Amino acid sequence: MLSALLAFAGVALLAALVPGPDTAVVIKNSVSSGRRAGLLTALGCSTGQLAWGAASVAGIAAVLASSVVAFAVVKWVGVAYLCYLGTRALIAAFRGSPAPDAPRAGRPVRNAYREGLLTNALNPKTALFTSALLPQFITPGSSPLLAVALVATTAVVSFGWMAMYSVGFSAIGHLLRRPRVRRAVDGVMGTVLVGFGARLAAE
How far the first Cα of the chain sits from its last, in Å, is 35
**Residue numbers of the domain that contains 90:** 23-28+35-202
Work out the number of other CB atoms within 10 angstroms of the CB of residue 110. Answer: 10
Q: Which of 12-16, 127-131, 192-196 has the lowest mean pLDDT?
A: 127-131
Half-sphere exposure of 198 (CA within 13 A, CB side): 8
Greatest alpha-carbon pair distance for the chain in Å reads: 59
Check whether 100 has a pLDDT greater than 60: no
Identify whether 7 is part of a domain: no
Identify whether 134 is part of a domain: yes
Nearest partner of 104 among 42, 33, 34, 175, judged by Cα:
33
Check whether 66 has a pLDDT greater than 80: no
Identify whether 72 is part of a domain: yes
> How many whole angstroms separate alpha carbon 198 and alpha carbon 109?
27
Q: Are 50 and 152 in contact (CB under 8 A)?
A: yes
pLDDT-derived band at 19, boundaries 50, 70, 90: confident
The number of folded domains in the chain is: 1
Helices (H), the chain: 2-17, 21-33, 35-58, 60-66, 68-95, 110-121, 124-133, 144-171, 173-176, 179-202
pLDDT of res. 40: 94
Identify whether 13 is part of a domain: no
Check whether 21 has a pLDDT greater than 50: yes
pLDDT of res. 107: 47
Read off φ and ψ for residue 134, nearest 5 degrees.
-55, -45
Residue predicted with more confidence, 53 or 110: 53
Identify whether 6 is part of a domain: no
DSSP labels for 43-61? HHHHHHHHHHHHHHHHTHH
pLDDT of res. 106: 44
Identify whether 5 is part of a domain: no
pLDDT of res. 191: 92
Identify whether 14 is part of a domain: no
Side chain identity, residue 35: R
51-67: average pLDDT: 75
Identify whether 41 is part of a domain: yes
Read off φ and ψ for residue 105, nearest 5 degrees.
-60, 130
Whole-structure pTM value: 0.80
